Every structure is written in structure tokens, then in C-alpha cells.
A and B are shown apart, each in its own frame.
Chain A
Amino acid sequence: MSTPRSQFLSDAQVATDDVAQRGFLRQALGGYYVSRDVQKARYRDWEQARDAAAMAKWNAVNRLDRTLTTFATNFERNGGKIHWARDSAEAREIISKICRDAGAKAIIKSKCMTTEEIHLNDALEAEGYGVVESDLGEFIQQLRKEPPFHFVFPCMHLKREAISELFTKHLGTAATDSPEELTMIARRHLRQLYVDADVGISGANFLVAETGQISITENEGNARLTCALPRVHIALAGIEKVIERLDDLAVLLPMLATAGAGQPMTCYNTLYAGPRQPGEPDGPSEFHVVLLDNKRTALLADPEQRDALHCIRCGACLNVCPIFKNIGGFAYGTTYQGPIGSVLTPHLRGLQQWNHLSGASSLCGACTEACPVRIDLHHHLLHNRRNAVLAHVSLFDRLFHGAFGWVIGRPKLFAFGGKVFRATLPLLKKLPLPYLSTWLKSRELPEAPKKSFRDEWKGSQS
């Protein structure tokens, strides 16, 4: 029976063995680094802009009771309906019911990781609805029956040949090696589906308390279409998505685009206040927002890691993470990959079962440096590790660290142990010792010197 940990170890082994695929990922991200740096240089002070973005989220999250209530009140004043979901099952049921009541048949979706988190598509399909993902990357992943590989770039692991084959198989189109032509195939295929859909489901990047609007960020225009053409619009959002003021978006929208995709601004940033209003020519007649807890309040209750709720899902931490770049997104086995996923998942799915993700980091801190809202990502991995140990320690770990602590508390014993270690190292290298033989599988150790530093120092002083 595989556990999340054993599955992770075997998937990471397979992924790291695939040198060509790792090179492909690095190459795909190469352009991102260049454009991100060009855009960052346009900021008059990127670091202070990060401060402002971090504070906008901090203020909203640390007053979540008020900001959320204000949002809900203002949203309903605009004519929309708010629904509250304590967990995934409740959110799925709310959304199913809206679709049933609307007599829906076809559902079009724009990109929304929160719907992945609650496994919405499976639930809706089980009830007989046709559900189509409209974001190009998500559409491709849906055809492949795979989850997103990266929560912002869902199919970045695929080469154009694979996508061409996929389209030939499912859509009957001729093979092509042109990304443009492949994009146009999806465009042509999806256009009629927007027109025919009864319900559009989206996420929300921000919930603006002050005005009761939701803000959706996207490049392709698929969310615009999803929220324009069907007669019912449902948006699913985590409760932490709320911000206090409309003006906070003046910082958050450009930071999201620059940090996540190296853009000055994402192509479409759209504020939705309600269903179609009197005097407006089109738009849905119903607008529902489903606010999801699903253990977010448990994370909120941890002041040390509460800032993980500041996350605006830009994906910057994945893009710079050497772990992500070497094992890819699938090995994580989570909805949210990369550093933020390794921080969040133990909270959302269980610390003991998912703590290996906190361990699977060299703590290099590239993620924390990249985060536009200053989440202390790599230190939270340390906090998760500590919390896991406080809750449960394996016998091996207890003995190992107990012995280690005992030895380093005794300088003479430490020096003697070191002497024995150095003298026997050639022999130790041949034994199947934990850790040492693992190291030696792919790396050498230097020859042990005759004298330790403390011996040499003593000699040099006399």
C-alpha cells in the first residue's frame, strides 16, 4: 500500500531520472526569467511594492471577520447571491444544486484551482453534466485526464508534438508543430461551447470588500467569455481571497502579473459586481459566489503561518524552485504544487501524511525571495517540520537526534568520535550505513585528514 510519502519518493525518482524533461522545463522557464526581470526593472522600487502588496493582504486576512462580512453584504447589495461552504462536499453540493435549479446541461469553466481542490468536475460529470475547461492549458489537461502540472501553467510539461497528437486523437485535427495553429484549433473548438453553455464556472483572484466586486485575472479571454455568455455565473473562491479596498488592486494586479508571468499586467483583469443590470445588453441573469473554508480557518488559527493565506497564486515560487524544476508538478501529488503547496498541503490534508513535502526542500529560500506578498515560505517548511516532530517522532529519528545531541553536548567525546570517524572512514564507506551510503551513491566524500582542525590548531599554538 503506497503512502503519499512513498509515492512521492518513487515519483521524484522517475522525474529526476528524466534528464531531457528536466532540461525542457528549465528551457520553458528561461523566457519567464528574462521578461520578469525586464518588468521588475520598470518598478520604481520593487521591494517597497512588495511591502505594499504584503500589507494589503495582511490587513485583509488579519481582519477577515470584518472584511468578509463587508464583502458579502456589498456583494448581495449588487444583486448576487453568496453561499458559504465549510468543506469540499458542501461546496460541491451548493454548485450542483445551482446547476440543477437552472436546468443546466452544458457547463463551461474558466481556470480555477479551487475547483480542482474540491474535485468539482468529477462531481458534476457524475451528475451527467458536460463540463468543459476553457483555459487552453486546462483544456489540454482535461483531454489528457491529468491534473494541472503547474497551477498557473497547467501543461508546461508538454511538448507541442504531444499536444498535436492529443488534438488529432480527440478533435480529429491534422498534425501540426505550430503552437499558434494548436492554439487556433482549441479556439475554434471552444467558441461554440461558450455560446451553448448554460452555466459558467469561474474562480476569483480577489474579492473586493469595499465594493462587493470579484476580480478575475486571465490572459486568454476565456474567463471573460465564461462570465458573459451563459445565463448563470458561479464563482468559487477561498475565504482568504478578500481584500479591503478597490485601490489595493493598483498594487496587487501588476505584482501578480510580473511575479507570476513576467508581464506588466495580465491581459484581462475584470471586476464583476453582479448579474446583468437594467440597461445592460447582456450578461448572466444569476450570479453566485461560493465562499469556501475547507480548513483555511485552521491555517488562520496558526499565527506563525497565517501569512500563507496571503498567497495570490501567482506561481512565482514554483517558477524559481529548484525542487519543482527537477521533479515537476505531478510528483507533489497535491492541488497546489511547489513551495506554497508544500506549506499548505500539510495543513489542508494532514501534517503527518504530507510532512515529507516540507522535508523535500533544501531550504534555499528562492521562493521567499520571489514571493510578491512576502510569505515566509521556506521558514514555514521549517515550522511544519518542527510541528510534525512535536506531534510524532519515529524511533529511528528519536535515537538519531538524541544521540547526536548527546555527542555534540560533550566536546571531548565529539573530538574522540571525530578521530574514530576519520580513522575508519575508508571502512565505513564500504558499509551499508544509513545516510553515508546514500551520499556515496552519487557523490564522493573528501579523504579524511589525519588531524582535525582542533588538533592542528593546538599544534600551531604551541
Chain B
Amino acid sequence: MRVSLFIPCFVDQLTPRVGMASAQVLKRLGHEVEFRDAQTCCGQPSFNSGHWDVARAAALRALDVFKGAEVVVGPSASCVAMMKKFYPEILAGHPRLQEAQDLAARTFEFGEFLVRKLGITDVGATFAGKATYHDGCHGLRELGLKEEPRQLLRAVKGLTLLESEEAETCCGFGGMFSVKFPMISTAMAQVKCDALVRSGADIIVSSDPSCLLQIGGYLTREGKAIRTLHLSEVLANGS
């Protein structure tokens, strides 16, 4: 399959390793991977802030960028949810709505693509450690992904998967929410991170780099030595 990567803007700038790891896993599974460098941001910050005109322009650009792509795969449940669920909503009544719906049907979150589209749960990865999976809200509730990432992690050799309390509780990132209501966002991070620490895991894995920005950022500030990794980084390891 020819996979077109959809790399979130902040992954592009701050955690490029997540994008590289996703590409590596897909290539190893025998797929052709491309990156169309006209892509920038999906427009979610503006969408969430109520500026739907800005988000709509971003959506229309994305339709151009990913025109003709066989499948679009992104290592971020949040940005994928923007494309899959909210592009059709903000383009309701727009002449290009059908195009947006077609793109939505061809777009997958990284783990979703492996398990649901390809039917693969074991990518042959090895990773030594105890991991706990954080359900990002967009992955869990907008895309309905709960078992898929866990199936992938359970198949990783050497990795023990622990469940944490508050696994389904929001980490408090929420995009602009994290800086517009920092006291609430930080309180949520504290509840989340306390539970993650209690789980006994030494690695926190998620399908959402934005959640990891929040969780990792809070844990580092609090001096807690737990690594945060994107699902693709774990799956890219070994073999």
C-alpha cells in the first residue's frame, strides 16, 4: 500500500522522531511511504478556539495536499480526528464536502491503521520495560480506539503492559485550553501523572504526541524519571 504520512505540525517541529518511527514501522511492513511537504497544520487550534473560518481554510488546503493519496496515516489521534470527524462538519454545505468525506474514509490514526486496516497486531518489535498506555481522549472517544493500541503493545517482546488508574481520564492538554486555563490544565496533569506514577510503569505510551507533551512536560518539571514514548517509537524498536 502507498501510505501518505500526515505529520502534526508540532511533531514536525518538536518531536520529529515520532514521524520517523512511524515511517520506519510502515516501511518494515512492506509499504511504500511518502511525505507531502506542502502539509502544515490541520487547523485544530483555530477550530477549537471557535475560528472555524481559519480551520476551514486549513481543511481545504489539506484536501489539496492529500489529493490522490491511497491512504493517509498520522501518528496523532487528535489531528486525525480533526481530519476524519471535524473536516466534514466544518465543510457541511461546502461544494467540497464529498471530498472531505472521502479523505476522512482514507485517513487513519497510526495504530488504527495497523490493526483495523491491515489486521496486524504483532509488528515484530522488541522493547524491554514496563509500559502503561495513556488513552488520549480523541483516540478513545472520537475514534473509538481502546483495544487496538493495547493489542499492539502486548505483542511487543520484552514489554510488560500495566494498566493505570485514571487510564481514560484526560491529561488536561486540550490544545489552547492548556494555556488559557493553565490552573485547571495543570491540576488535571497532576491527577493523571500521579496515577501513571502509581502504576509502576517506567514508560508511558500514547497515540497522541500532544498528550505526551503535557504528561512529559509535567513529569519532567516534577522531577519524575519516567519516559514518554509514542506508540510508533515502541513499535519501531528492535526486530
7 smallest beta-carbon distances between A and B, as pairs: A362-B174, A385-B50, A443-B217, A364-B170, A389-B50, A453-B16, A405-B54
A405-B188 contact in complex given A397-B51, A438-B179, A449-B16, C-beta closer than 8 Å: no
Q: A439 near B179 (CB under 8 angstroms)?
A: yes
- Chain A residues 355-387 with CB under 8 Å of chain B are 359-366, 368-369, 382, 385-387
A408 at interface (Cβ–Cβ under 8 A)?
yes
User: Which chain B residue shows the least CB distance to A323?
Assistant: B184
- Chain B residues 115-158 with CB under 8 Å of chain A are 137, 140-142
Question: Can you identify 10 A-B contacts, CB atoms within 8 angstroms?
Answer: A16-B183, A360-B180, A362-B175, A404-B46, A409-B57, A409-B61, A418-B12, A444-B216, A454-B7, A457-B20
* Residue in A17, A365, A435 whose CB lies within 8 Å of B142: A365
| Chain A 429-455 interface 0/1 with B at a Cβ cutoff of 8 Å (1 = within) | 000001110110111111011011111
A326 at interface (Cβ–Cβ under 8 A)?
yes
User: Which chain B residue shows the least CB distance to A417?
Assistant: B13
* Residue in B37, B182, B191 whose CB lies within 8 Å of A438: B182
B206 → A minimal CB distance (Å): 14
Q: How far is the CA of A202 from the CA of B172 in the complex (A)?
A: 39
A414 at interface (Cβ–Cβ under 8 A)?
yes
Q: B49 near A385 (CB under 8 angstroms)?
A: yes
| Chain B 221-237 interface 0/1 with A at a Cβ cutoff of 8 Å (1 = within) | 10000000000000000
A362-B177 contact in complex given A326-B187, A421-B13, C-beta closer than 8 Å: yes
| Chain A 266-293 interface 0/1 with B at a Cβ cutoff of 8 Å (1 = within) | 0000000000000000000000000000
Q: How far is the CA of A386 from the CA of B168 in the complex (A)?
A: 27
Q: How far is the CA of A365 from the CA of B48 in the complex (A)?
A: 13
B101 at interface (Cβ–Cβ under 8 A)?
no
Q: B184 near A327 (CB under 8 angstroms)?
A: yes
A405-B137 contact in complex given A360-B177, A389-B50, A442-B182, C-beta closer than 8 Å: no
Q: B188 near A322 (CB under 8 angstroms)?
A: yes
- Find chain A residues with CB under 8 A from B218 CB: 442-443
Q: A364 near B141 (CB under 8 angstroms)?
A: yes
Q: B54 near A446 (CB under 8 angstroms)?
A: no
User: Which chain B residue shows the least CB distance to A456?
Assistant: B16
For the residues of B in contact with A, the DSSP-based class is helix
* Residue in A388, A402, A422 whose CB lies within 8 Å of B13: A422
Q: B45 near A404 (CB under 8 angstroms)?
A: yes
- Find chain B residues with CB under 8 A from A453 CB: 7, 11-13, 16, 19-20, 35
The bracket for how many chain B residues form the interface is 35 or more
For the residues of A in contact with B, the DSSP-based class is helix
Q: How far is the CA of A387 from the CA of B51 in the complex (A)?
A: 9
A326-B184 contact in complex given A385-B50, A401-B51, C-beta closer than 8 Å: yes
Q: How far is the CA of A17 from the CA of B214 in the complex (A)?
A: 19
- Find chain B residues with CB under 8 A from A48 CB: none
Q: A408 near B19 (CB under 8 angstroms)?
A: no
Q: B15 near A405 (CB under 8 angstroms)?
A: no
B46 → A minimal CB distance (Å): 5
B41 at interface (Cβ–Cβ under 8 A)?
yes
A197 at interface (Cβ–Cβ under 8 A)?
no
User: Which chain A residue shows the least CB distance to B181?
Assistant: A360
Which of A368, A408, A444: most chain B CB closer than 10 A? A408
Q: B47 near A362 (CB under 8 angstroms)?
A: no
Q: How far is the CA of A322 from the CA of B171 in the complex (A)?
A: 9
A172 at interface (Cβ–Cβ under 8 A)?
no
B12 → A minimal CB distance (Å): 4
- Find chain B residues with CB under 8 A from A460 CB: 20
Q: A363 near B43 (CB under 8 angstroms)?
A: no
* Residue in A17, A26, A362, A422 whose CB lies within 8 Å of B185: A362
- Find chain A residues with CB under 8 A from B50 CB: 382, 385-390
Q: How far is the CA of A27 from the CA of B235 in the complex (A)?
A: 37
Q: A401 near B217 (CB under 8 angstroms)?
A: no
B160 at interface (Cβ–Cβ under 8 A)?
no
Q: How far is the CA of A411 from the CA of B58 in the complex (A)?
A: 12
Q: A16 near B184 (CB under 8 angstroms)?
A: yes
Q: A456 near B20 (CB under 8 angstroms)?
A: yes
- Find chain A residues with CB under 8 A from B168 CB: 366
Q: A359 near B173 (CB under 8 angstroms)?
A: no
B239 at interface (Cβ–Cβ under 8 A)?
no
User: Which chain A residue shows the least CB distance to B136?
Assistant: A364
B199 at interface (Cβ–Cβ under 8 A)?
no
User: Which chain B residue shows the least CB distance to A418?
Assistant: B13
B47 → A minimal CB distance (Å): 7
Which of A397, A409, A435: most chain B CB closer than 10 A? A409
B175 → A minimal CB distance (Å): 8
Q: How far is the CA of A446 from the CA of B209 in the complex (A)?
A: 12
